[in-house]
Amino acid sequence: MLPRSPWFTILFLLLVSSCCCFLPYASAEEGTCSAADDECNAAAHQRTTQQEQQEQQQEKQETYTHKFPMKFVNKSQYRADVHWDDGKYGVHMAILEPNGGESSLETYQGHSFFITRHGVKEGLFDLETDEQHRVTVKRPNETYEIPENAAPSTNPCQDRFSICKSEAARGTCSWSPGWMIVHCCKSCDEELNASELIDPNVRCTKERLNMTEPAWQPGDLNKLFESWAAKDSDFAQYDPQVLSSPGAEFGGIDGPWVVTFDNFFSEDEANALIQGGAKVGFERSTDQGKMNSLGEREKVVSTTRTSSNAWCIGACERIPQVSRVSHRIEEVTKVPKKNYESFQILEYDYNQFYRSHHDSSGSEKGLSGHRILTFFLYLTDVEEGGETKFNKLGIQVKPKRGRALVWPSVKNEDPSTWDPRTFHEAMPVIKGKKYAANHWIHLNDYEGPNKWGCTGSFS
């Protein structure tokens, strides 16, 4: 049996307290108390309490209520982004460019910032402690240096944001699994096995995603466009016009199919799409850059495309007129909506343009396959400029509210091969403002792979 004398109890308490409170202050200068030396320990305790109070007072004296500058320097080999931690997803504040990698921000005392790789939200870490680089602002004119050895963690399963736990608690892991696995992996691990699924080779297989058959077999492309061009078309009320058809057999020039429906949607529907875009918020258009090991593509501000765009998701997609137009496109194309990217709403101001490009997804087509069709809607009349120009075909289409322009990006004989004839560009707006919207339609399912974070896009 252990002795239960008062001495034992005191000794025990002292041992506990000495390891928790006194140890950091037991430096050589101050001298070290033996655990049982009551008086010495009491004195040391007083000293440390005084020190703490002094430090606290000092902290208190240095209160800054005004904005002040803070400098960030990037010494790492990664292009970095600085985000203010707003307690939610963070707010992007600065890019640390190469060749100097410096940026100065105006900030407030107590604000926190975290550092990620540029263009994705993958954190830059101290690999020894496995802590993400972050800083809480204490006083004006500090410099925060991202050290040379900063790098993504070797453990990809991290919570990137303060809000991850509460998002997981309200069920977001199951209704937005792709985004959550990549951004809130720890918080979704129990529910989804996120630490396994964070590897895109595990997460993004045809079998796991229950992918269905391609929308088109060879020959289906021509059949569809021929049904629109026919005199007795089911869709004659939308006023189809053929600008180009194979062998010019159905009108227009000899080339790939290019068709307009000059009366495809109403003014009310056009306005609803513009308002939906505003609801989500228009942002400067970006291109997709390189992919990291988690399947995220870097967002790159485009130089060949100066428009702004908004992806019509959530509240925008639920606007009745918006879903009515999507549904009409399903009826006309006979390709189900699960193969579509969300409506992209576009805004072109004076002199804005989108230089020559192709809508297929290039050689990297992924699970969803190429974009086979572009269904493009002009939401406003434009006084001058803003035409869609097919560079190789010599066709220009004028914006006109209610008009839809449709063309394929792939070949009739092989819908998994892109058709280089349909390069096109958006001419600069000279007078007025151009609003447009498009659905990009894929050969295979898009919604499933997108939901599971298998399309490179996580917005």
Ligand X SMILES: *[C@@H]1O[C@H](CO)[C@@H](O)[C@H](O)[C@H]1NC(C)=O
The answer to whether residues 95 and 84 touch, using CB atoms and an 8 Å cutoff, is no
Q: How far is the CB of 270 from ligand X (least distance, A)?
A: 35
Number of residues that bind ligand X (CB under 6 A): 18
Which region among 93-101, 227-235, 347-355, 363-371 touches ligand X (by CB under 6 A)?
93-101
Which region among 98-106, 108-116, 378-386, 395-403 touches ligand X (by CB under 6 A)?
98-106
Dihedral angle of Cα 384, 389, 393, 394, to the nearest 10 degrees = 20
The one among 79, 134, 355, 401 contacting ligand X by CB under 6 A: 79
Q: Which is nearer to ligand X, 154 or 210 (CB)?
A: 210
Q: How far apart are the first and last CA of the chain?
A: 65
Instruction: State yes or no: residue 104 binds ligand X (CB under 6 A).
Output: no
Q: Which is nearer to ligand X, 343 or 458 (CB)?
A: 458
- The pair of structure tokens assigned to 143 is 């410099």
Helices (H), ranges, 243-367: 267-280, 320-333
Side chain identity at 283, as an amino acid letter?
Answer: E
The answer to whether residues 235 and 384 touch, using CB atoms and an 8 Å cutoff, is no
Q: Strand, coil or helix: what is 201?
A: helix
Q: Which is nearer to ligand X, 35 or 173 (CB)?
A: 173
The answer to whether residues 404 and 261 touch, using CB atoms and an 8 Å cutoff, is yes
Instruction: State yes or no: residue 78 binds ligand X (CB under 6 A).
Output: yes
Instruction: State yes or no: residue 455 binds ligand X (CB under 6 A).
Output: no
Q: Which is nearer to ligand X, 63 or 141 (CB)?
A: 141
Which region among 68-76, 166-174, 302-310, 416-424 touches ligand X (by CB under 6 A)?
68-76
Instruction: State yes or no: residue 141 binds ligand X (CB under 6 A).
Output: yes
The answer to whether residues 74 and 80 touch, using CB atoms and an 8 Å cutoff, is yes
Instruction: State yes or no: residue 193 binds ligand X (CB under 6 A).
Output: yes
Which region among 70-78, 158-166, 228-236, 243-251 touches ligand X (by CB under 6 A)?
70-78
Q: Which is nearer to ligand X, 143 or 396 (CB)?
A: 143
Q: Which is nearer to ligand X, 101 or 453 (CB)?
A: 101
The one among 14, 33, 41, 74 contacting ligand X by CB under 6 A: 74
Instruction: State yes or no: residue 210 binds ligand X (CB under 6 A).
Output: yes
Q: Which is nearer to ligand X, 389 or 451 (CB)?
A: 451
Alpha-carbon radius of gyration of the chain: 30
Strands 68-74 and 143-146: parallel
Cα 250 from Cα 228, distance rounded (Å) = 10
Instruction: State yes or no: residue 98 binds ligand X (CB under 6 A).
Output: yes
Which region among 75-83, 272-280, 320-328, 365-373 touches ligand X (by CB under 6 A)?
75-83
Cα 36 from Cα 42, distance rounded (Å) = 11
Which region among 206-214, 217-225, 286-294, 363-371 touches ligand X (by CB under 6 A)?
206-214
Which region among 16-24, 203-211, 268-276, 368-376 touches ligand X (by CB under 6 A)?
203-211
Q: How far is the CB of 115 from ligand X (least distance, A)?
A: 11
Helices (H), ranges, 315-416: 320-333
- Burial class for 9, CB neighbours closer than 10 Å (0-12, 13-18, 19+): exposed
Q: What residues does 434 pair with on adjacent strands?
A: 348
Q: How far is the CB of 403 from ligand X (least distance, A)?
A: 37
The answer to whether residues 222 and 246 touch, using CB atoms and an 8 Å cutoff, is yes
The answer to whether residues 284 and 348 touch, using CB atoms and an 8 Å cutoff, is no
Binding positions for ligand X, 28-47, rule CB under 6 A: none
Q: Which is nearer to ligand X, 77 or 356 (CB)?
A: 77
Cα 120 from Cα 296, distance rounded (Å) = 7
Instruction: State yes or no: residue 368 binds ligand X (CB under 6 A).
Output: no
The one among 46, 49, 77, 237 contacting ligand X by CB under 6 A: 77
Cα 296 from Cα 185, distance rounded (Å) = 14
The one among 21, 26, 43, 73 contacting ligand X by CB under 6 A: 73
Strands 91-96 and 125-126: unpaired
Q: What residues does 144 pair with on adjacent strands?
A: 72
Which region among 76-84, 353-361, 380-388, 406-414 touches ligand X (by CB under 6 A)?
76-84
Side chain identity at 60, as an amino acid letter?
Answer: K
Q: Closest-CB residue for ligand X?
A: 101
Instruction: State yes or no: residue 61 binds ligand X (CB under 6 A).
Output: no
Q: Give the HSE-up count for residue 212: Cα atoms under 13 Å, Cβ half-sphere.
A: 13
Q: How many CB atoms lie within 10 A of CB 103?
A: 17
Q: Interface residues with ligand X (CB under 6 A)?
A: 73-79, 96, 98, 100-101, 140-141, 192-193, 208-210
